[in-house]
Amino acid sequence: MTSFEKQAGRPRVTLQTIADRLQVSRTTVSNAFGKPNQLNPALRQQILDLARELGYPGPNPAARTLRRGRSGSLGVIFPETLVYAVTDPAALLLLRGIAEASEAARMALWLAPVPPDREAGIAAVRDAVVDGFVVYSLAEDDARLQILAERAMPTVIVDEPPLPGAAFVGIDDRAGARAAAEHLLALGHRRFGVVTFPLADDDYTGPADLARQAAATIPISRARLAGYADALAAAGLPWDEVPVQETRLNEVASGEAAASALLDRSPRPTAIMAFSDLLAIGALRAAATRGLRVPADLSVIGFDDIPAAAMATPPLTTVRQPLLEKGRIAGRLLLDGWPANQPPTLRLPTDLVVRASTGPAPP
Amino acid sequence: MTSFEKQAGRPRVTLQTIADRLQVSRTTVSNAFGKPNQLNPALRQQILDLARELGYPGPNPAARTLRRGRSGSLGVIFPETLVYAVTDPAALLLLRGIAEASEAARMALWLAPVPPDREAGIAAVRDAVVDGFVVYSLAEDDARLQILAERAMPTVIVDEPPLPGAAFVGIDDRAGARAAAEHLLALGHRRFGVVTFPLADDDYTGPADLARQAAATIPISRARLAGYADALAAAGLPWDEVPVQETRLNEVASGEAAASALLDRSPRPTAIMAFSDLLAIGALRAAATRGLRVPADLSVIGFDDIPAAAMATPPLTTVRQPLLEKGRIAGRLLLDGWPANQPPTLRLPTDLVVRASTGPAPP
DNA sequence: GATCAAGTCTTGATCGATACAGTAGTGCCG
DNA sequence: CGGCACTACTGTATCGATCAAGACTTGATC
């Protein structure tokens, strides 16, 4: 047998089995498990004893969930694979926040898989036995959004994209990005390079021209690019001359590769703005490989302010966003609920955290 | 309304609702969703259209799970809170391994909450709608084991404690610990201090005397202490003179506090052996605070070889164990199953990884 | 023209519990 | 001694689907 097949040997034991043997009703047996003080303690003990003797596995959770209409689990959906989600520091901070809220409310977490087979990932969301969803940063055209809309469960969207009826928690990405660019402009930088994570859900890696930027299906990415562009425009600099390198995953290695491409251009940018700290740390590496001093020769600014940012060499200037807080709030929103037809929308603040990876532009 | 109450406005829509409206049977409607090629494409389209029009949320996952006897989720149970599990690098590596296996098999992950209220944590395991469990390192007297035994689902125990009928994946903790101690002994150390994580599930923090060591309910902890003791005994050193500090959580701060207590003793140990890398990193901090040079004045050895070990200052000597691999194997075992009554038991190897935090004993 | 297979749909049973309403029996009160 | 509350239990309906087996068409086959 494989482990998921039914136990071959033992006959199935249900509440009814026990009820029959003791000449009581199914309901009474059910109460013995679920409502201890609705029946005589002696009888209850008898029932529990017999249950153990017969190897009764306890009330079937699926049946219970069906009847009660409540599962005790919160679903969490990430844009990328689970393997990746439990690796990415930003995703983990969010997850931790959600866990704080769910654990306080005695709720379990259900994490959606993103198998190689796309259909399976969609089916998983359709079949999730949960009481609500927290959805993290999906692309606008992610097919799972459709399913979520159909299921019409309580849902909290974190970061993006808006979903009718769902609550929303996010930051002002455009303002955050703008603050990053303004910081660099104030330091005298004029030649920039940008490292982004995906602009669309299509596995592309490489330079992102204006057309691709305009066609982005990931709202966050659009907003951040717009924020950078806002700042440059305000300083009278043309955005269309700024090289943008898109990466597939939010990882140090991706950032290093993308930054390498930027640094090998001529003229070389004097400042690199990255969509995340991991990508920025990759940029630091690319600079180190080329013998560039940070911040004397090159300034690098990240986004998020994950713990590793402060530990980087040099410590990373970045735009802090409250990831843990976002998770906590998302979880609590879901658990507390909201007035019908008035899903709340929250925008949390970002802060520019200036450390040692940015400095005056080289002459 | 709060979000978890039933949608007040809309009347409930089920398969039957749709079937009635179209004058077909429930089953046909069911097939329209689940078995597309068992009915006329035109009819199927009609059904799907009407479903959308009526706002049918799709086949109820709980009902489906009940009928099919399969949920598509794997349960994962950690000893500590979920909040802690998604923070601890070792737990996360394991989780990532499990995710690799589950995602490849299109299975979701269900993470058990450990709410402040102990009963609730037990109930959560009882009510988990899953097809099997991976259980990580519980204390022998953890009440959830009882529930797991009753539920009699396919279960894989990682590290400890043995559970009848369950598969097992672990390492030889005793041998690993022994190797650590032997390494230090070979370097000439004679005065040791030990920093452990919990020996029992009782929130104790502080020195652990021989009585407490003997009463430990956490098999791993017993095994590692025994391993250290083996090595010392072989070298003719008395174990009962070795101070052991127990911590509550596997965290840097705990390690620092425990190591501080050890380092403030006189005579001071020349070597600290820690049950984990995080605790060892805490010991490095305690040493730094006291102006002790590592390894000139003090040697420190960890356990696990998490990524942070190699990045520590100085890089940490440690006993590597294949955490990711353990997760992968646990997941795969669970998914592949095993012959009835012959649950597999696997012991993976550990390796001593010598870096810069250990050196010859000071004269 | 009977037989068969494939395709399409239906019926009835079933998964395993909990909710809800109702029925005895018991004890206490005035 | 009637009335009332309380405890302990029962019976039926229900949660919302899927399964297994069978029935009816239709067209092809010999």
- Mean pLDDT value of segment A270-288: 98
Is pLDDT of A191 > 70?
yes
A214 CB-to-strand C distance under 7 Å: no
**Three-state secondary-structure class, residue B134:** strand
- Beta strands (DSSP E) in chain A are 73-77, 108-111, 133-136, 155-158, 167-171, 192-196, 206-207, 244-246, 271-274, 299-301, 318-320, 345-348, 351-353
pLDDT bin (cut points 50, 70, 90) of residue B4 is: low
- Check if the beta carbon of residue A156 is closer than 8 Å to that of residue A167: yes
Choose the closest CB to B110 out of A3, A73, A152: A73
B117/A109 CB distance under 8 A: no
- Please give the average per-residue pLDDT across A207-226, as a whole number: 96
| B6 pLDDT higher than 60 | no
| pLDDT tens digit sequence for A17-39 | 999 999 999 999 999 999 988 89
- Say how far apart CA B160 and CA B136 lie, in whole Å: 7
Residue B27 Cβ < 7 Å to strand D: yes
Q: In the CATH hierarchy, which top-level class contains the domain A173-322?
A: alpha beta
Q: Where are the domains of chain A?
A: 3-59, 73-171+324-348, 173-322
Q: Which two tokens stand for residue B178?
A: 């022994």
Residue A6 pLDDT exceeds 50: no
Q: Give mean pLDDT, residues B229-247.
A: 97
User: What pLDDT does A340 receive?
Assistant: 83
Task: Give pLDDT tens digits for B256-295.
Answer: 999 999 999 999 999 999 999 999 999 999 999 999 999 9
Tokens standing for B267?
A: 């005579």
Tell me the nearest-neighbour CA distance from B284 into chain A, angstroms: 16
What's the predicted TM-score (pTM) here? 0.94
CA–CA dist A40, A322 (Å, integer): 52
- Whether A173-322 and A3-59 are alike in CATH topology: the answer is no
Q: What is the mean pLDDT of chain A?
A: 95
Architecture of domain B3-59: Orthogonal Bundle (1.10)
User: Does residue A10 register a pLDDT over 70?
Assistant: no
Q: Which of residues 53-112 of B have CB within 7 Å of strand D?
A: 58-60, 63-64, 66-68
**Under CATH, domain B73-171+324-348 is a member of which superfamily?**
Response regulator (3.40.50.2300)
DSSP state of B140: T
Report pLDDT for A3: 46
| Distance, CA of B289 to CA of B268 (rounded, Å) | 15
Over chain B, what is the mean pLDDT? Answer: 95
- Tell me which chain A residue has its CA closest to the CA of residue B62: A66
Q: How far is CA A241 from the centre of its chain?
A: 32
User: Sheet of A73-77: strands edge to edge?
Assistant: A345-348, A167-171, A155-158, A133-136, A73-77, A108-111, B108-111, B73-77, B133-136, B155-158, B167-171, B345-348
- Would the CB atoms of B106 and A86 count as touching at under 8 Å? no
pLDDT in tens, B288-297: 999 999 999 9
